[in-house]
């Protein structure tokens, strides 16, 4: 497998770019106006622009084939990141996290996700290079996940069990204490609901990585392409959540589109390429069609059934969790 040879200086420059973008994102969301829905939509568009812009950079530097692979992997990660938004919503509602503090948790959650994704991606690439049979394991994981995602209700409570598990094992304060993750009460250190939410998000991102990383590897097995596409898909998650938190639950058929993308990626991995070769550009088209069709179908359903609004994910408040701990 021929991969892009990126010098150490190139990785350092990319890391500096990502760090700079994270700092800009942190500073830009320090006031209430920056957390408005209109601002979040503008930031989401900006992150998409950066993601596509880096694809242009890849095209200019390395050619059309790596650029097509980058675009396909970025689209897969961006599409699957929509599923993260459901989980964020469940976690924050379960712990009664105020909107103003959700941004802080998401920032550090995304920072941790960048580290975990790097570990998963480079481990996955190494495994594929040394043991070709791993490709079938990844394919089976994707196909199983596609089946599970297609069957489950996207609004069904999926992460409250983890929240409760952590709450039973951590001394948790009875309420959110500003922007603090840890507080001292009665001479003992207590985790706040913010810390419980952050740990839960980090754990669930590890679970998501088991699906999304193999999906990206179905398009490209170049670590530079896969990691950079992951990074630019993840960086915009905070703004995307702020923009879509109130409408994501209305996308009734989105999970079918996500399941179709996962199934497509799984089939690409288990079917030998000398039998059926799917180019990265064709992969891009399939992803766009799957996600686009599910969103359009959801919008049509909502217009035809305006009075039938999905119920919010079930959950318990932070005080209820804390009461069981203490």
Which pLDDT value is given to residue 54? 92
pTM (2 d.p.): 0.78
Q: By percentage, how much of the chain surpasses pLDDT 90?
A: 6
Instruction: Examine residue 1 and state whether it is found in any structural domain, yes or no.
Output: no
Question: Which one is predicted more confidently, 93 or 312?
Answer: 93
Check pLDDT > 80 for residue 295.
Answer: yes
Instruction: Examine residue 286 and state whether it is found in any structural domain, yes or no.
Output: yes
Residue 312's pLDDT band (cuts 50, 70, 90) = very low
Check pLDDT > 70 for residue 21.
Answer: yes
Alpha carbon distances (Å) from 253 to 149, 221, 242, 249: 11, 30, 21, 10
Instruction: Examine residue 76 and state whether it is found in any structural domain, yes or no.
Output: yes
Residue 188 is classified by DSSP as E
User: What's the residue count for the chain?
Assistant: 326
Which pLDDT value is given to residue 317? 44
Number of domains in the chain: 1
Pick from 191-205, 272-286, 303-317 the range whose average pLDDT is largest: 191-205
What SS3 class is residue 252?
Answer: coil
Instruction: Examine residue 184 and state whether it is found in any structural domain, yes or no.
Output: yes
Cβ neighbors of 68 (< 8 A, separation 6 or more) are 279, 280, 281, 284
Instruction: Examine residue 3 and state whether it is found in any structural domain, yes or no.
Output: no
Question: Which one is predicted more confidently, 253 or 166?
Answer: 253
The residue range of the domain holding 261 is 9-325
Which pLDDT value is given to residue 55? 92
Alpha carbon distances (Å) from 15 to 8, 18, 115, 319: 11, 5, 11, 40
Containing 141, the helix (H) or strand (E) segment is helix 134-151
Average pLDDT over residues 285-294: 88
Other C-beta atoms lying within 10 Å of the C-beta of residue 133: 8
Instruction: Examine residue 176 and state whether it is found in any structural domain, yes or no.
Output: yes
How do residues 67-78 score in pLDDT, each as one tens digit? 999 998 898 888
d(CA 57, CA 59): 5
Instruction: Examine residue 245 and state whether it is found in any structural domain, yes or no.
Output: yes
Residue corresponding to tokens 């799984």? 266
Which pLDDT value is given to residue 35? 58
Q: By percentage, how much of the chain surpasses pLDDT 70?
A: 85
Please name which of 16, 60, 78, 123 lies closest in space to residue 230, comparing C-alpha atoms.
Answer: 78
Instruction: Examine residue 4 and state whether it is found in any structural domain, yes or no.
Output: no
Please name which of 219, 171, 227, 216 lies closest in space to residue 195, comparing C-alpha atoms.
Answer: 171
Which pLDDT value is given to residue 56? 93
Which pLDDT value is given to residue 59? 92
Which residues are paired to 191 by β-bridges? 172, 182
Q: How many degrees, rounded to 5, is the angle at CA 256 between CA 252 and CA 258?
A: 110
């Amino acid at each position: 497998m021929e991969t892009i040879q990126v010098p150490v200086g190139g990785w350092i420059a990319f890391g500096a770019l990502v760090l700079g973008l994270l700092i800009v994102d942190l500073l830009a969301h320090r006031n209430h106006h920056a957390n408005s829905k209109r601002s979040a939509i503008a930031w989401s568009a900006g992150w998409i622009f950066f993601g596509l812009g880096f694809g242009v950079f890849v095209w200019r530097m390395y050619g059309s084939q790596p650029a097509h692979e980058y675009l396909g992997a970025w689209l897969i990660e961006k599409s699957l990141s929509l599923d993260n938004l459901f989980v964020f919503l469940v976690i924050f509602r379960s712990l009664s996290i105020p909107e103003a503090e959700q941004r802080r948790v998401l920032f550090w959650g995304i920072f941790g996700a960048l580290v975990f994704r790097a570990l998963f991606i480079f481990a996955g690439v190494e495994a594929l290079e040394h043991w070709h049979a791993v490709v079938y394991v990844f394919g089976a994981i994707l196909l199983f996940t596609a089946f599970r995602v297609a069957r489950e209700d996207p609004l069904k409570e999926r992460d409250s069990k983890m929240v409760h598990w952590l709450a039973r094992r951590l001394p948790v304060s009875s309420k959110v204490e500003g922007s603090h993750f840890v507080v001292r009460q009665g001479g003992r250190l207590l985790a706040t609901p913010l810390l419980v939410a952050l740990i839960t998000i980090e754990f669930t991102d590890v679970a998501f990585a088991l699906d999304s990383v193999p999906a990206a590897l179905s398009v490209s097995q170049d670590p530079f392409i896969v990691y950079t596409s992951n990074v630019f898909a993840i960086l915009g998650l905070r703004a995307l959540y702020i923009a879509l938190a109130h409408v994501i639950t209305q996308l009734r058929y989105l999970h079918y589109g996500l399941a179709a993308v996962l199934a497509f990626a799984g089939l690409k991995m288990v079917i030998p390429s000398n039998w059926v070769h799917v180019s990265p550009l064709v992969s891009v088209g399939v992803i766009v069609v799957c996600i686009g069709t599910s969103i359009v179908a959801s919008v049509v359903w909502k217009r035809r059934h305006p009075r039938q609004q999905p119920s919010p994910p079930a959950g318990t408040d932070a005080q209820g969790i804390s009461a069981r701990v203490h």
